[in-house]
Chains A and B, each alone.
Chain A
Amino acid sequence: MSGSAKGVALSGVAKWYGKVPAVRGLDLEVAPGEMVSLLGPSGCGKTTTLRMIAGLEAPDAGEIRIGGTRANEVPPWRRNIGMVFQSYALFPHKSVAENIGYGLVMRRLPRAEVAARVADAMRQVQLQGLDERVPSQLSGGQRQRVALARALVTRPDVLLFDEPLAALDRKLREQMQVEIRQLQRAVGITTIFVTHDQVEAMTLADRIVVMEGGRIVQSGTPGEIYERPGSHFVSDFIGMMNALRATVIGRAEDGGLRVRLEPGGRELAVAGPAGMAAGEGVELMLRPEKVRLNPPAGAGLIHVGGTVAHVVYLGAVTYLHVGTPDGLVIAMLPNAGGDAAAPRQGDAVTLGWRAADMVCFAPPRDA
């Protein structure tokens, strides 16, 4: 039931801690019912942004609107939000049922209704029978669910997660990711979560907002972010990448750029950002899974020959680190099984990829 799903809008939001800007001029719109991830390295301002939406921190500039209404002056206890903290913050002196019911008690609902809704919530997150337990008696996964139930039972307008799954081990994390996603879809609540784990962002989010240095660097669906990163930072943060250096030598006929790979010297035509002049350095990004091993000639691919420097076997896939005249290229090969033996260190191989699979952007500043 998504009756009260509300959108969240930030415009020009900024926050300083002393002289240090944590968030600079942020503009963000989250549609009702959307699940958005704020993704970035520590210190990028994502947690500060989340806390400002919650009302736990006050922005120094800009406006925060929840459901279209300005929320800057509204204190957290009147914003009707649900928040799951990184440490879960379950009240240690209250039982599971009391924890979950706390928000309802604060809203002064009659006891019978509190009990009913708490029971409902516990069923929703599969915690039946644990009413009287105390947080210290629960496992990590169970505490997660209690925190989730506690935040949801009040039927908030917005659900906020601060690194929700960081404390769980991998198997549990993957399981919870699926459950949270299903729950969010069923309830249809606008959700914003903060994470530094790109896998988590890709798994859970409808839209990923990548942040760095207090600013939004790129915003888009997981597919957009992964396939078309706008900068070295974004492409490096999500997934693995190959970075080849090149110099612009001019414009191509189709509007793209002609570049010359360094150090190899080979010339290519790639789609590139506007406004790049001849002589400028660029970076060509290539995802390892787009690289094919020993492809047949003439398939419209760029071919590069090289020697295998290193092989990393990971069960489902194998990474080949190949030294080529244009630099190190890492190829990811699925181990579908039944093939001839994978290449070994020292083997000479040919790699191939489509020019269209390369993304071109300015090199990182401190390169």
Chain B
Amino acid sequence: MLPPRRRADPRRVLAAAAMLAPGVLLLALILVWPFLVMLGMSLRERFPGPIGPSFAKYAEFLTDPYLLNVALRTFSLAATVTLLCAVLGYPIAWFLARSRSRWAHLVFLGTIFPLLVSIVVRTMGWTILLGNEGLVNAALTGLGLVAEPLRLMQGFWSVVLGMVHVLMPFMVLSIAAVLGRIDVAYAEAAATLGATPVRNFLSVTLPLSVQGVAAGSVIVFCLTVGAFITPIWLGRGHVTVMAIAIHEQMVTLVDWPGGAASGILLSLATLLLLGGYGLLLRRWARR
């Protein structure tokens, strides 16, 4: 006896379709359609101008040293931020997942808090801290450690600081979710087999939690690559990343096709990363 050809139950298909219709429609209008419009714009030579398609703007991007430099800086920024978030965030995730302290709740709230505060407020805070008349400089000059206030808010590292500050929660929560699911029994078994705490962690818990680190890293990387406001304000114009370049192209230079092309390339990079991560997930799941 062979399995019959499966006719999907029309009732269920209709129900599912009805439930998904509003969401899909919304996203099609406000996400997919704009993206397609942008794609179309990127395939023009100039706007207003002929419809194209023309890859002129893409070619421009790939041969423009300024833009390539910006891309490089963007990715190195993202890599730095991701690495720092992973290293700094892992212990916090450990605390959240393993600690039975009653402060765990507060720590959780404290971790997600930066997410829920507006970028304007955060920037004000950084200005108060790192600005020329800010707290840090006041302390340093007050203690006589420096003669003049340091220019702390216009570099790669102030941007890194700001991004790590706001993106840490994503990393911490990703890792904590995975750590929370790892049975403590594994580490206990390793301990009875003679593993010292450090080796225990490195050989048992860390490998098992890699998925959480990977998930968090993908999110943090994607978000950093697309960051706009924080690099502008905490870099004071000295840290130009892709998002800023796109803004330049679109608003300052009114080069919509160019900006669109840069935007599409940036989006492609993000999509590739997500896709690659998805494939990795499926490979892991099959193991």
The answer to the question of A60 belonging to the interface, with a C-beta cut-off of 8 Å to chain B, is yes
CB closest residue in chain B, given A58:
B9
Inter-chain contact A14/B1, CB cutoff 8 Å:
yes
Stretch at the interface among A17-25, A102-110, A266-274: A17-25
- For the complex, give the distance between the alpha carbons of A18 and B4 in Å: 10
Inter-chain contact B3/A60, CB cutoff 8 Å:
yes
B interface: dominant SS: loop
CB closest residue in chain B, given A15:
B3
The answer to the question of A61 belonging to the interface, with a C-beta cut-off of 8 Å to chain B, is yes
Number of interface residues of A (CB under 8 A): 10
How many Å from the CB of B205 to the closest CB on chain A?
Answer: 31
- Residues of the B chain whose Cβ atoms lie less than 8 Å from the Cβ of A313: none
Inter-chain contact B9/A24, CB cutoff 8 Å:
no
Inter-chain contact B1/A24, CB cutoff 8 Å:
yes
Inter-chain contact B4/A60, CB cutoff 8 Å:
yes
- For the complex, give the distance between the alpha carbons of A14 and B4 in Å: 10
CB closest residue in chain A, given B3:
A16
- Residues of the A chain whose Cβ atoms lie less than 8 Å from the Cβ of B4: 16, 60-61
Inter-chain contact A25/B9, CB cutoff 8 Å:
no
- For the complex, give the distance between the alpha carbons of A24 and B4 in Å: 12
Flag A6-43 by CB within 8 Å of B: 1 or 0 each.
Answer: 00000000101011010011000000000000000000
- Residues of the A chain whose Cβ atoms lie less than 8 Å from the Cβ of B1: 14, 21, 24-25, 61
CB closest residue in chain A, given B9:
A58
- For the complex, give the distance between the alpha carbons of A145 and B24 in Å: 45
Interface residues of B in 71-100 (CB under 8 A from A): none
A interface: dominant SS: strand
- Residues of the A chain whose Cβ atoms lie less than 8 Å from the Cβ of B3: 16, 18-19, 21, 60
- For the complex, give the distance between the alpha carbons of A21 and B4 in Å: 11
- Residues of the B chain whose Cβ atoms lie less than 8 Å from the Cβ of A18: 3
Interface residues of B in 1-58 (CB under 8 A from A): 1, 3-4, 9
- For the complex, give the distance between the alpha carbons of A58 and B11 in Å: 13
- For the complex, give the distance between the alpha carbons of A195 and B1 in Å: 27
- Residues of the B chain whose Cβ atoms lie less than 8 Å from the Cβ of A24: 1
- For the complex, give the distance between the alpha carbons of A91 and B9 in Å: 28
CB closest residue in chain B, given A16:
B3
- Residues of the B chain whose Cβ atoms lie less than 8 Å from the Cβ of A16: 3-4
Interface residues of A in 28-70 (CB under 8 A from B): 58, 60-61
- Residues of the B chain whose Cβ atoms lie less than 8 Å from the Cβ of A21: 1, 3
CB closest residue in chain B, given A19:
B3
How many Å from the CB of B15 to the closest CB on chain A?
Answer: 12
Interface residues of B in 184-203 (CB under 8 A from A): none
- For the complex, give the distance between the alpha carbons of A18 and B2 in Å: 11
- For the complex, give the distance between the alpha carbons of A24 and B9 in Å: 21
- For the complex, give the distance between the alpha carbons of A25 and B9 in Å: 22
How many Å from the CB of B287 to the closest CB on chain A?
Answer: 21
- For the complex, give the distance between the alpha carbons of A60 and B268 in Å: 44
- Residues of the A chain whose Cβ atoms lie less than 8 Å from the Cβ of B9: 58
How many Å from the CB of A75 to the closest CB on chain B?
Answer: 9
- For the complex, give the distance between the alpha carbons of A25 and B4 in Å: 13
- Residues of the B chain whose Cβ atoms lie less than 8 Å from the Cβ of A25: 1
How many Å from the CB of A22 to the closest CB on chain B?
Answer: 11
How many Å from the CB of B21 to the closest CB on chain A?
Answer: 23
How many Å from the CB of A219 to the closest CB on chain B?
Answer: 21
- For the complex, give the distance between the alpha carbons of A18 and B5 in Å: 10
- Residues of the B chain whose Cβ atoms lie less than 8 Å from the Cβ of A58: 9
How many Å from the CB of A23 to the closest CB on chain B?
Answer: 11
- For the complex, give the distance between the alpha carbons of A16 and B3 in Å: 6
- For the complex, give the distance between the alpha carbons of A91 and B283 in Å: 37
How many Å from the CB of A247 to the closest CB on chain B?
Answer: 35
Interface centre among A16, A19, A58 (most CB of B within 10 A): A16
- For the complex, give the distance between the alpha carbons of A61 and B4 in Å: 8
- For the complex, give the distance between the alpha carbons of A60 and B9 in Å: 12
- For the complex, give the distance between the alpha carbons of A143 and B268 in Å: 54
CB closest residue in chain B, given A18:
B3
- For the complex, give the distance between the alpha carbons of A276 and B6 in Å: 42
How many Å from the CB of A25 to the closest CB on chain B?
Answer: 7
- For the complex, give the distance between the alpha carbons of A24 and B2 in Å: 10
CB closest residue in chain B, given A60:
B4
- For the complex, give the distance between the alpha carbons of A58 and B9 in Å: 10
How many Å from the CB of B153 to the closest CB on chain A?
Answer: 51
- For the complex, give the distance between the alpha carbons of A241 and B3 in Å: 37
- Residues of the B chain whose Cβ atoms lie less than 8 Å from the Cβ of A61: 1, 4
Flag A72-110 by CB within 8 Å of B: 1 or 0 each.
Answer: 000000000000000000000000000000000000000
| Listed A/B pairs (14) with beta-carbon separation below 8 Å | A14-B1, A16-B3, A16-B4, A18-B3, A19-B3, A21-B1, A21-B3, A24-B1, A25-B1, A58-B9, A60-B3, A60-B4, A61-B1, A61-B4
Since A16-B3, A16-B4, A61-B1 are in contact, a sample of 8 more A-B pairs with Cβ atoms closer than 8 Å, ordered by chain A residue number, is A14-B1, A18-B3, A19-B3, A21-B1, A21-B3, A24-B1, A60-B3, A60-B4
Residues in A lying within 8 Å of B, measured CB to CB: 14, 16, 18-19, 21, 24-25, 58, 60-61
Residues in B lying within 8 Å of A, measured CB to CB: 1, 3-4, 9
In the complex, the 3 A-B pairs of residues with the closest C-beta atoms, listed nearest first:
A16-B3, A60-B4, A19-B3
